[in-house]
Amino acid sequence: MNIISVHVEKNIFSNFELHLFEHVYVKKIEYLFKKNNIDNQGILINAETFISYCDITFAFHDKSLLKKIISIIEAVKFDKLDIEMFNIEYMRIKEEVKVIDITDEEKLIYTNFSINSKDIMALYECPVNFDVDNIMLKVNEIVSNINIYVFDGSKIYNYKKVNSEKINIITADKYMQNEEHLTFSVYFNVYNIKEYLIVSLMSFIMGKTSESIVDKFLLQKNNLYYGYTFDVTINGIYILSILLDKDVELSDVNKMFYIEFDKLISSDDFIKFRNTFITNFFLNEFPSDFFRNICNLNLYDTINIAEITKMFNSITFDDIINKYNDFAKKVINNYVEKK
C-alpha cells in the first residue's frame, strides 16, 4: 500500500474555506486523473476537514504511480473555467452542513477544548453570501500552502513542507457533563515520532482495553461499562480526553490521579500492554491512522517500518510513568483543584 497526503494547517483560513478547498480540490484531482488515464488504477481518495486543518489522502497499490500522482497534485490550480464547479460545491456544502453528524459523545468531548477560538460547531459554518472570485483566490492560496507526505510502502517522509503555525488550545477547567457522560481533556506538545508513540501507548493503557486503568479503577468497582480514552491530533498537539459514564464518582476520578502509576499497573502489566498495543497498531492503525496522525502533528522525520518497531520496543516503563505523571499533574491542576 502506498499513500500520499495533501495536508493544510493554516490559521489564516476559515473552516469554510478549508471545507470548500476539500471539495473542489478532490473534483479537480478526479478530473486530472481521468485526463491522465489513471482514473482506472484503483486510487482511493479520502478527504477530511477538521478545525483549522484539511487532509486529503490518496491510497494506491501500484508504487509506479507515485511520481505521476505527485506531479498531478503539484499541477493543481484554479481559474475562471472552474467557477461553475465552485458554485456547485458551495451549494453542496450548504446542504451538507445542515446535517450535524457528530454523536452526543463526540460533541461533549469537543466541548472540552477550543482550537484557535473555534469549537467543533465551526465545521458546520457556511456563509450566506458567496463571492466566487474572492473565494477562488483564497483556495489558490491554500493550494500554495499544502504539505505533501508520502508513504511508499516501506517508509514515511515529507515530500513538501510548509511551515506550520502555532495554534492556541484552551481546555475547560471543569469536568463537562451531559445526561449520560462526563469528560475532561489534557493536551501535550509532541515533537517527534517516539514521543507520539509514548502518548499513544499511554492512552491505550489508560482506556482502550477491558484491562485498562479506567476500567479497573473506575468502572469495575461501580459495575459500570462505559469509559474510554479519545485522542485528537492537530498541528503538533496531542489532545487526550477521557469519557466516562456519568455515574462514575468524581471523588474516585480525583483519587485515581493521586495514585502513583506503578501502583496502577505493574512492570509486567506494562510489557503486556506494550505488546498488545504493537499488535493492535499494525493490525488496525498502520498505515492509515498512523500516517494521518504524523501529518496532523507536523512530524517531518523520515521513518521506515523497521524503525517504528524498534521505537516501540525502546519505550520503557519509566517513559510511561513520566508521561502519566505529566498527565495526572495537568488533570489535578486543571480540574481537581479547581472543581
Q: Is residue 60 located within the same domain as residue 197?
A: no
Alpha carbon distance 245, 249 (integer Å): 9
Q: Is residue 142 located within the same domain as residue 206?
A: no
Strands (DSSP E) found in the chain: 2-9, 44-50, 53-60, 113-115, 147-151, 155-160, 169-171, 176-177, 181-189, 227-234, 237-245, 303-304
Q: What pLDDT does residue 11 have?
A: 74
Domain termination residue (choose one: 132, 160, 188): 160
Q: Is residue 204 located within the same domain as residue 148?
A: no
Q: Is residue 178 located within the same domain as residue 321?
A: yes
Q: Is residue 122 located within the same domain as residue 190?
A: no
Q: Is residue 215 located within the same domain as residue 287?
A: yes
Q: Is residue 92 located within the same domain as residue 207?
A: no
**Of 321, 199, 205, which Cα lies nearest the Cα of 272?**
205
In a domain, 165, yes or no: no
In a domain, 166, yes or no: no
Q: What pLDDT does residue 112 have?
A: 84
Domain termination residue (choose one: 160, 187, 219): 160
- We report the CATH number of the domain holding residue 311 as 3.30.830.10
Q: What pLDDT does residue 339 have?
A: 53
Q: Is residue 142 located within the same domain as residue 284?
A: no
Q: What pLDDT does residue 270 have?
A: 97
**Of 213, 149, 175, 110, which Cα lies nearest the Cα of 9?**
149
Strand pairing report for 53-60 and 44-50: antiparallel
Q: Is residue 186 located within the same domain as residue 52?
A: no
Q: Is residue 8 located within the same domain as residue 107?
A: yes
Q: Is residue 138 located within the same domain as residue 29?
A: yes
Q: What pLDDT does residue 166 have?
A: 72
**Of 47, 176, 166, 164, which Cα lies nearest the Cα of 115?**
166
Q: What pLDDT does residue 49 have?
A: 93
Domain with 188 in it = 172-338
In a domain, 167, yes or no: no
Q: Rounded to an integer, what is the distance from CA 339 to the centroid of its chain?
A: 29
SS3 of residue 131 by DSSP? coil
Q: Rounded to an integer, what is the distance from CA 298 to the centroid of its chain?
A: 11
244 backbone dihedrals φ, ψ, rounded to 5° = -130, 155
Amino acid residing at 154: S
Instruction: Determine how many CB atoms are found less than 10 A away from the CB of residue 84.
Output: 10
Q: Is residue 33 located within the same domain as residue 122?
A: yes
Which pLDDT tens digits describe the chain residue by residue (339 residues)? 999 999 998 778 899 999 999 999 999 999 999 999 999 999 999 999 988 789 999 999 999 999 999 999 999 999 999 999 999 999 999 999 999 888 889 999 988 888 877 888 889 999 999 999 999 999 999 999 999 999 999 999 999 988 777 778 888 778 899 999 999 999 999 999 999 999 999 999 999 999 999 999 999 988 999 999 999 998 889 999 999 999 999 899 999 999 999 999 999 999 999 999 999 999 999 988 998 899 888 887 789 988 999 999 999 999 999 999 999 999 998 887 665
Count of domains forming the chain:
2
